[in-house]
Structures are given as structure tokens and as C-alpha cells.
Amino acid sequence: MPLTATKSCPCGSGNRPLDCCTGLILHGGEAQTAEQLMRSRYTAHTLLAIDYLWQTWSPQERATSSPEAIREWAGSCQWLGLEILACERGLADDNEGSVTFCAHYRLDGREQHHLEKSLFRREAGLWRYLRHAD
């Protein structure tokens, strides 16, 4: 079933995909907040939308990975859900922010989770994922 036909977006917002992450990933929309970018990046992992993941990553940080590595990681997992645990700044009027989240997935038959505090920054007016906080 296509993502746009499902009842709720994989990011866990409760919104229909068309009204949530799909517009950003498939139709060239831009995230208005750091949380919205985080949610759309999670959904992009579920869709294997590697170009979107690469484009929304800060160019300065891309040297630590590659589109192929992202595809390998995202494709190896069955994505089970996203929980947003905390947001600090990252609103429409901010230039920086962080989102703490827990992504649930199945890898090699075992349910696992990835807990991270991600840093985001506006670059040329667009929200970009920087890296995880130290």
C-alpha cells in the first residue's frame, strides 16, 4: 500500500502522511521546525528515501558517511516507530535546536532501539541535521 494511502504517518505524529512527512520527502517541501525535520528524516528511513536524507544532512557533516552507507543501514532495518522525547528550541523562529528521540526497529530478527539527541541548524534558511550531541 502506498504511503499516501495509509492512515497515519510512520513518524508517529498521528497525521495522514500526505499532511505530514510525504510533502517534505516526495514533494519538495521544507521543514519549518527541527522536530518536523527529525520526523521526516525518520519517515525517509522507512521509505529508503536516501536522496532526502542526504540533502537534509548538513554538507559539513556528510564527510562522515555516504548515501550508500545510509541505504545499507536504513535497508537493513524494519522500522517500528518513533518517539519524540524532548525538543529544545528548533522552532520556526530559531536557528538551532535539538530533538531527543527513540527510533524502534527490528534488525536480524531482534527488536532494538536507537536513542539519540540530534542537533539541527538552519543553513541558508533551511533546517539541516548536523549530528548527534556528544
Name residue 130's amino acid. L
pLDDT, one tens digit per residue, over 39-64 is 999 999 999 999 999 999 999 889 88
Higher pLDDT, 83 or 23: 83
Reported in sequence order, the residue ranges of the chain that DSSP labels E, i.e. its strands, are: 78-89, 96-107, 110-123, 126-132
Residue 82, CB half-sphere, CA atoms under 13 Å: how many? 24
pLDDT, one tens digit per residue, over 89-124 is 999 999 999 999 999 999 999 999 999 999 999 999
pLDDT beyond 50 at 1: no
pTM: 0.91
> Cα(47)–Cα(134) distance, rounded to whole angstroms?
28
Nearest in space to 99 (alpha carbons), one of 33, 16, 44: 33
3-132: CATH, from 3.10.450.50, 3.100.10.10, 3.40.50.300, 2.60.120.260: 3.10.450.50
Pairing of strands 96-107, 126-132: unpaired
